[in-house]
A and B are shown apart, each in its own frame.
Chain A
Amino acid sequence: MAHIPDGVLSLPVGVAGWAGAAALTGFALRSLKEEAIPGTAILAAVFFTVSLVAVPVGPSSVHLLLSGLMGLMIGPLTAPAVLVGLVLQALLFGFGGVTSLGVNLVNIALPGILAGLVLAGPVARATPGRAGVIAGIGAGLCVAATGGGVALALALSSSDFVPSARIMLVTYLPLMAAEALITGFSVGFLKRVKPEALAGARP
């Protein structure tokens, strides 16, 4: 639901999104060492496949974004991981868009990267339970930021979209709750079983 298709955004917004996506991805790739590529790809594949699982929320179901968890585990590499995920999503299922790819990437990856920068340290130091709470709140805020980004991209594209963008923000609440809880439980689990997985972003 964070995937804006082609044909909705205005051209300037789409182009700005591509520029932002290129900057984020380029910056992250500079720190990606050759030997870390397969390992990063394995994690990107896991995040993508877990996000395909439909999580029941009331009568409907949602798909997780996992951007907060990505930010905690792979830091800025969240940007290329999300990019790969979006391209696969388009190839395998036909979702997403070409011209809107940049905006979608920034909307999903940027909150995760920021959450990783701010929360990786506290999560690394906290006890499993407390780390889960911190990560859960962070992941929920990431979803809220993604919803805000989608609304902003729509509002900047055309003032006609503003009323729908306002209502749309409300539809992010179920995903926020599911994302916060599941990320929280995941991080608690990882802290108990493999704490080095959350020892700050991978180099």
Chain B
Amino acid sequence: MKAPGFDRMTPRARLLATLILTLAVVALRGLPAQGAALAGAFALALISGQALRPLLHRLAHVEGFMVLLLVMLPFSVPGTPLVTLGPLVLSAEGLARAIGIALKTNAAILIVFALLGTVEPLRLGHAARGLGAPVRLVQLFLFTTRYVELFRDEIRRRREAMRARAFARRTSLHTFRAYGNLAGMVLVRALEKAARVEEAMRCRAFDGRLPAIGIEEGERGILAGPGLALVVGAALIALDRLP
């Protein structure tokens, strides 16, 4: 069932390709190239062989301020009027601007989903290290991913306990106080845990270096993937800028 997709490429190559492609997409100015970028990004998502339902779900969710931006642009950019609604003038230039931003934003989301969607955080951390990210930052990232699940679980249990005591969330001082105490209590537990972990790490002579955690990442695709990304990115920009 699971298509090989990009799994044969190393995470480092995929990370590098993602950076190149998103940068190229962001630089596009005209609608034809932006549309081509979105089509290409969608093709990438299909090739990656992942389930598309969560992706479509994600694309359907647009953040509030993006809605504001996209709705206001056609009316606030001066230009050739298309529709006039009383004092509001919808301009062709503004509409093109809004459509262009929506195309680029969705293309970038698709690229990240296609190339990095199946990379586990652990391998992504090592990939970032391979691309020159500071070792302490990577350590911090790896440890954090390990603890996020733990605390999501703890917060879920505490909220269940609150509900069992007939807590109902609404916009009230009581709710804010309850959430403040919840955050405080989880932080207290976290600080105690941090102290224990720190002692345990000392006992194991942890000195902050990144031990090889059993991942042999070859150099497979380290040139092919990013190389292809460079070619595609350059082609898009050429399509955009050349008359």
How many angstroms from the CA of A28 to the CA of B16 in the assembled complex? 25
- List of B residues within 8 angstroms of A44 by Cβ: 140, 144
How many angstroms from the CA of A77 to the CA of B206 in the assembled complex? 20
B interface: dominant SS: helix
A51 to chain B, nearest CB (A): 10
- List of A residues within 8 angstroms of B19 by Cβ: 98
B191 A91 Cβ-Cβ under 8 A = no
Which residues 152-177 of B have a CB within 8 angstroms of A?
Answer: 152, 155, 159, 169-171, 173, 175-177
Partner of B25, one of A6, A39, A186: A6
The yes or no answer to B218 lying at the interface (CB within 8 A) is no
CB-CB contacts of A157-195 with B at 8 A, as 1s and 0s? 000110110011001000000100111111111100110
A43 B190 Cβ-Cβ under 8 A = yes
Residues of A in contact (CB 8 Å), total: 77
Nearest first, the 6 A-B pairs at minimum CB distance are A185-B180, A34-B208, A7-B104, A41-B143, A189-B184, A6-B108
**Beyond A29-B134, A160-B97, 12 extra complex contacts between A and B, CB < 8 Å:** A8-B101, A34-B136, A44-B140, A46-B190, A53-B182, A84-B137, A95-B63, A164-B73, A167-B68, A183-B180, A189-B185, A194-B187
Residues of B within 8 A of A (CB): 18-19, 22-23, 25-27, 55, 58, 63-66, 68-69, 72-73, 76-77, 94, 97, 101, 103-105, 107-109, 112-113, 116, 119, 121, 124, 134, 136-137, 139-148, 150-152, 155, 159, 169-171, 173, 175-177, 179-188, 190-191, 193-195, 197-198, 201-202, 206-208
Residues of A within 8 A of B (CB): 1, 3, 5-9, 11, 14, 25-26, 29, 32-46, 48-50, 52-53, 55-58, 66, 69, 73, 80-81, 83-85, 87-88, 90-91, 93-95, 97-99, 150, 154, 160-161, 163-164, 167-168, 171, 178, 181-190, 193-194, 197
